[in-house]
Each structure stands twice: as structure tokens, then as C-alpha cells.
Amino acid sequence: ADIAADRPRLLMSPRGRPLTQDQVAELAAGPGPLIVCGRFEGIDQRVIEARGLEEVSIGDYVLSGGEIAAMALIDACVRLLPGVMGKQASGTEESFSEGLLEYPQYTRPQEFEGRQIPEILISGDHAKVAAWRLAQSEALTAARRPDLWARKAGQKAAPRGTKNTTDG
């Protein structure tokens, strides 16, 4: 019996499709992927084709092997499994969960080396805090990841009930 018959068969490769949070969520919800890692020059193309491997990339750079990329993929999936992170909602408002980078985080103390926590965050007004966080996420995404911002802007512009063709 083929133990990987119903599992995604992934090859960690810089020439693969970029890994996304949506794909991670899909993998975490499934039976778990079979992950193949090449070393130095990669895997023979005939093996890729014969085993139906889907090439997946974690970024536009080259590593010595796929093991570190596989660990990144595994960590991203495992943290979505129920009970892994403790508080169930702790993984829901993060970078990429809504197609945006995460807003800045502030913890205690209220002042750090003369820098204060933004007043809005200690106001107790949950609606204003949510609006501030969204605005921060949008500004960070537009400035640092124009590719994500363009995709998000395209989603907002798509009429309701239609598939956004920028989603792939």
C-alpha cells in the first residue's frame, strides 16, 4: 500500500510555486504532506515526474538543501493545529491571515527607552484599536510588500460573487 497516496507530495525547491499562508492552512487541515528535499543540485526530473512531486519554494534564494525549507513549512503547518499554540485565537491575527502584514506589536512596559505605546492602544476603545491595527497593517503592507498590497487591492476591487483572477 502506498502510504502517501492521499497526501500532497511536495519537493522543496527554489523553482517551485511560492508557499503561501493559504496553502499552509490547507496542508495543516489535510492528512499531512510527504516532503522531499534535494541536496545541492536537486532531484532528477524523472523522479519529480514519476512521483508527482509539486515543487514548493519558501523564497527567492537558494539553500544547500531542502531540509531548512521543509522545517519552515512544517513549523508553519504545525502551529495551525488545534491546541499547539494554546490560546485558539493567537494565530488568527497575524501576517498574511488577511492578505496583509501584521500590525506592530506593543507589550509592557508602557514606556521603553522613551518610546511610548500608542495612546489608542491603551484607550480601551476596541473599535478604534481595530481600525488602528488595520490601518497599520495596510500601511506596512503597501510600503514593504507592494506585491501583497496589489493583490489585496485587487480583491477589494473585485465585484462580489466573482472569483479574483489574481489569486492563482
pTM of the entire structure?
A: 0.74
Domain harbouring 127, CATH code: 1.10.1270.20
Assigned domain for 100 exists? yes
Among residues 20, 55, 78, the one where a domain terminates is 78
Domain that holds residue 20: 9-78
Q: Residues 103, 151: one domain? A: yes
Per-residue pLDDT tens listing for the chain (168 residues): 566 678 999 999 999 999 999 999 999 999 999 999 999 888 999 999 999 999 999 999 999 999 999 999 999 999 999 999 876 545 555 667 688 999 999 999 999 999 999 999 999 999 999 999 999 999 999 999 999 899 888 876 655 444 444 444
Which amino acid, 67? E
Cα separation of 53 and 36, whole Å?
8
Q: Residues 106, 137: one domain? A: yes
Q: Residues 74, 97: one domain? A: no
User: Which phi-psi region, left, alpha or beta, contains residue 16 (left: φ > 0; alpha: ψ -120 to 50)?
Assistant: beta
Give the 3-state secondary structure percentages of the chain, helix then strand then coil, rounded to 5.
40, 15, 45
Please enumerate, as own/partner, the contacts of 102-105 that have beta carbons within 8 Å and a separation of 24 or more: 102/137, 102/140, 103/132, 103/133, 103/134, 103/136, 103/137, 103/140, 104/136, 104/140
Split into its structural domains, the chain has a count of 2
